[in-house]
């Protein structure tokens, strides 16, 4: 069968790959994260094809979805990784990704993290402050291992992202080094016997829909790279970060082809390798969260659809006011649309998946699918209210892999003493 859109509806029922979602839930329970491996591969290949005109490393941004099965599959496609913690390094190494294909970002790297990444043979640390550079130089000296570095530039660009928490490229955020300090820091790195300058880096935010802010950021890093080069400081790579937006309401995501048309010729001209750090674009549309209706409650002017999944499973609606399309797994064509709040069972008023949403009125026992949760979904799940984190499965055509089993009650007690 030809399945074009992720999670198509066939005869009134939602499918994942070549499997009925209802059957997957019967086997693996609810709530359940379902990922379609074909959708992940298609997004990866799209970026690869768009940027084929330049020496490219796609360093998948692991924080978007760090499930080992997904990391393993991305590694098989040729991906490296953009990591932000020792835990992510550990996961990536376990999934078989070579440290030499990893860049290490983050404003607060500890000495423990620096040591581990140096030992593993990381491609580069994307350094975010003068003080971090000093500490990294000390750690490298102590270990007798030169530290490969890039400087993360804060280009002071306000990218138009849907929420202020996902803007990282303007001067008032904690990220990156102010443009006017970058060259001085390159000079001091060049003077340090145990720091090896490898590249330049910028990441302006997340869920960006237009290439324009990237073009501005690119202008800045290319100018800085040329100035560094003029002083004899050579840079092997330019890391343009991630942030390419996806369609949360069936609209098109960012055109990586349009972005590539701007970026590829200008980077190719410099001879530098290009590193991209896409996270959401690769996995976002590949995931749904399936959750079951427990109760429908009418209260004054409001109708609440109370689900077995909530903010502990998916926090984007309450944390970022994120919109996620929600639809019944099995259509109820006889049911009228009503305006409802789709809420979870957690003891917080902020526990909702959607507010004031028009939905075919579901009933006790129905399944709803929350779309576009492949990125920043499960990875932000918590055990608040002593809830067990849901299972994650990966569907590949007709095959299904239990990528992470549902947590057990004993998992909740792990590490505690009595
Ligand atoms: C989060 C992050 C990314 C990925 O962002 P997406 O919006 O998921 O593509 C890339 N690079 C850095 C440094 C990040 O912090």
In this prediction, residues 345-356 reach a mean pLDDT of: 95
Per mean pLDDT, which of 251-255, 296-300, 388-392 is the most reliable?
388-392
Beta carbons of 13 and 20 less than 8 angstroms apart: yes
Average pLDDT over residues 166-184: 86
Compute, in angstroms, the gap from residue 52 CA to the centroid of ligand 1: 21
> Percent of the chain scored above 70 by pLDDT?
99
16 and 130, same domain (yes or no): no
Give the pLDDT band (50/70/90) at residue 166: confident
- Does one domain contain both 311 and 290? yes
Is 70 exceeded by the pLDDT of residue 371?
yes
Residue that is last in its domain, among 265, 281, 297: 281
Q: Domain count for the chain, please give it.
A: 2
Mean pLDDT of 277-301: 97
DSSP for 258-322 reads HHHHHHHHHHHHHT-EEEE--SHHHHGGGEEEEEEEEEEEEETTEEEEEES--TTT--HHHHH--
Question: Terminal CA-to-CA distance of the chain, rounded, Å?
Answer: 55
Alpha carbon distance 143, 118 (integer Å): 8
Ligand 1 center to 168 CA (angstroms)? 9
- What does pLDDT average to over the chain? 95
Indicate whether 177 and 190 sit together in one domain.
yes
Count Cβ atoms within 10 A of the Cβ of residue 30 and give its class: 0-12 exposed, 13-18 middle, 19 or more buried: buried
Our answer to whether residue 92 is catalytic in this structure is no
- Give the ligand 1 atom nearest the CA of 280: 8
Compute, in angstroms, the gap from residue 401 CA to the centroid of ligand 1.
Answer: 27
- Based on the domain organization, do 245 and 111 belong to the same domain? yes
Assess whether pLDDT exceeds 50 at residue 342.
yes
Q: Report the alpha-carbon distance of residue 410 to residue 405 in Å, rounded.
A: 13
CA–CA separation, 356 and 287 (whole Å): 23
Atom of ligand 1 nearest to the CA of 63: 1
The reply to whether 125 and 182 lie within a common domain is yes
| Same-domain status, 369 and 401 | yes
Beta bridge partners of 198: none
Residue 3 has pLDDT above 60, yes or no: no
pLDDT of 187 strictly over 50:
yes
Domain assignment present for residue 1? The answer is: no
b/e per residue 78-116 (b: at least 16 CB within 10 A): ebbbbbbbbebbebbbebebebebbbbbbeebeeebbbb
- Rounded to the nearest whole angstrom, what is the distance from the C-alpha of residue 35 to the centroid of ligand 1? 20
* Ligand 1 geometric centre to CA of 325 (Å): 23
Q: Read off the pLDDT band of 162 (50, 70, 90).
A: confident
Atom number in ligand 1 closest to CA 207: 7
The C-alpha atoms of residue 115 and residue 129 are separated, in whole angstroms, by 18
Residue 202 lies in a domain: yes
Q: How far is the CA of 375 from the centre of ligand 1 (A)?
A: 11
Same domain, 401 and 265: no
Q: Which residues does a 6 A CB cutoff place in the pocket of ligand 1?
A: 61, 63-64, 82, 105, 203, 206, 241-244, 277-281, 375
Residues 302 and 239 in one domain: no
C-alpha to C-alpha distance for 371 and 354, rounded to whole angstroms = 12
Q: What does the pLDDT average to over 358-365?
A: 96
Residue 4 is assigned to a structural domain of this protein: no
- Which DSSP category does 205 fall into? B
Pocket test residue of 242, 376, 377 for ligand 1, highest count of atoms within 8 A of CB = 242
Residue-wise pLDDT for 24-40, tens only, equals: 999 999 999 999 999 99
Residue from 2, 347, 409, 418 carrying the catalytic annotation: 347
| Same domain membership, residue 266 and residue 129 | yes
pTM score, whole prediction: 0.96
Residue 362 sits in a domain whose CATH number is: 2.40.37.10
- pLDDT tens-place string over residues 228-241: 999 999 999 999 99
Lowest-pLDDT range of 79-83, 159-163, 216-220: 159-163
Give the DSSP H or E segment for 367. Answer: strand 367-371
Residue 351: CB atoms within 10 Å = 20
Domain CATH number, residue 200: 3.20.20.10
Give the range of the structural domain holding residue 265, as residue numbers without chain letter: 38-281
Residue 3 lies in a domain: no
172 or 225: which leads in pLDDT? 225
Q: Does 92 share its domain with 216? A: yes
Question: What ligand 1 atom has the least distance to the C-alpha of 166?
Answer: 7
Answer whether residue 418 is part of any domain.
no
Distance 275 CA to ligand 1 centre (A): 12
Q: What is the pLDDT of residue 78?
A: 98
- Give residues with Cβ within 8 angstroms of 268, minimum separation 6: 53, 54
For 417, other C-beta atoms within 10 Å of its C-beta total 4
Q: Which of 281, 302, 324 is the last residue of a domain?
A: 281
Per residue in 115-160, pLDDT (tens digit) is 999 999 999 999 999 999 999 999 999 999 999 999 999 998 877 7
Does residue 178 surpass a pLDDT of 50?
Answer: yes
Q: Among 59, 105, 210, which is best to mutate for testing ligand 1, by the most ligand atoms less than 8 A from CB?
A: 105
Q: Does residue 83 carry a pLDDT above 80?
A: yes
Q: Which CB contacts under 8 angstroms, 24+ apart, belong to 142-147? A: 143/115, 143/118, 143/119, 145/118, 145/119, 145/194, 146/193, 146/194, 146/195, 146/196, 147/114, 147/118, 147/194, 147/195, 147/196
Claim to verify: residue 271 and residue 312 sit in the same structural domain: no
pLDDT beyond 90 at 86: yes
> Does the pLDDT at position 197 exceed 50?
yes
What is the model's pLDDT at position 1?
36
pLDDT tens readout for residues 305-322: 999 999 999 999 999 899
Q: Count CA within 13 A, CB hemisphere, residue 112.
A: 4
pLDDT exceeds cutoff 70 at 398: yes
Distance CA 37, CA 397 (A): 8
The least confident of 20-24, 164-168, 330-334 is: 164-168
Name which residue leads in pLDDT, 5 or 219: 219
- In this structure, are strands 302-307 and 337-343 parallel, antiparallel, or unpaired? parallel
Atom of ligand 1 nearest to the CA of 277: 10
Predicted local confidence at residue 2, as pLDDT: 38
Same domain as 223, residue 106: yes
- Residue 169 forms part of a structural domain: yes
370-372-377-383 Cα dihedral, nearest 10 degrees? 0
pLDDT of the residue at 88: 98
Instruction: Give the ligand 1 atom nearest the CA of 245.
Output: 7
- Contacts of residue 235, Cβ cutoff 8 Å, sequence gap at least 6: 150, 197, 198, 199, 200, 225, 228, 229, 272
Does any domain span residue 183?
yes
Domain boundary (246, 281, 316) is at 281
Report which DSSP code applies to 407. Answer: P
């Amino acid at each position: 069968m030809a399945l074009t859109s992720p999670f198509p509806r066939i005869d009134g029922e939602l499918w994942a790959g070549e499997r009925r979602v209802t059957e997957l839930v019967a086997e693996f329970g609810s709530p359940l994260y379902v990922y379609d491996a074909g959708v992940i591969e298609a997004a990866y290949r799209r970026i690869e094809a768009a940027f084929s005109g330049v020496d490219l490393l796609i360093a998948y941004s692991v924080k978007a979805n760090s499930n080992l099965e997904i990391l393993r599959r991305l590694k098989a496609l040729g991906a490296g990784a953009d990591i932000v913690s020792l835990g992510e390094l550990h996961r990536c190494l376990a999934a078989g990704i070579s440290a030499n294909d990893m860049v290490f970002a983050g404003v607060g790297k500890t000495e423990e993290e620096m040591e581990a990444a140096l030992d593993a043979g990381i491609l580069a640390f994307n350094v975010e402050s003068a003080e971090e550079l000093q500490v990294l130089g000390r750690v490298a000296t102590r270990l007798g291992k030169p530290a490969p570095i890039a400087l993360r530039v804060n280009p002071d660009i306000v990218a138009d992202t849907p929420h202020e928490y996902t803007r990282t490229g303007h001067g008032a955020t904690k990220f990156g080094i102010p443009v006017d300090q970058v060259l001085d820091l390159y000079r001091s790195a060049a003077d340090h016997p145990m720091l090896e300058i490898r590249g330049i880096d910028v990441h302006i935010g997340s869920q960006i829909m237009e290439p324009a802010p990237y073009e501005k950021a690119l202008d800045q890093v290319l100018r800085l790279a040329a100035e560094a080069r003029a002083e004899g400081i050579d840079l092997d790579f330019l890391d343009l970060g991630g942030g390419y937006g996806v369609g949360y309401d069936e609209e098109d995501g960012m055109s990586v082809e349009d972005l590539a048309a701007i970026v590829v010729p200008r980077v190719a001209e410099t001879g530098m390798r290009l590193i991209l750090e896409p996270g959401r674009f690769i996995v976002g549309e590949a995931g749904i969260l399936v959750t079951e209706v427990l109760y429908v409650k009418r209260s004054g002017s409001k109708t609440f659809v109370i689900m077995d999944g909530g903010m502990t499973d998916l926090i984007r609606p309450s944390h970022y006011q994120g919109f996620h399309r929600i639809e019944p797994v099995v259509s109820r064509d006889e049911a009228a649309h009503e305006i409802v709040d789709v809420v979870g069972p957690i003891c917080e008023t902020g526990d909702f998946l959607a507010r004031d949403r028009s939905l075919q009125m579901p009933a006790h026992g129905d399944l709803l699918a929350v779309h576009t949760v492949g990125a920043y979904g499960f990875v932000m799940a918590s055990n608040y209210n002593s809830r067990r984190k849901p299972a994650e499965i990966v569907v590949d055509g007709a095959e299904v892999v239990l990528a992470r089993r549902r947590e057990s009650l004993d998992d909740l007690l792990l590490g505690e003493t009595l």
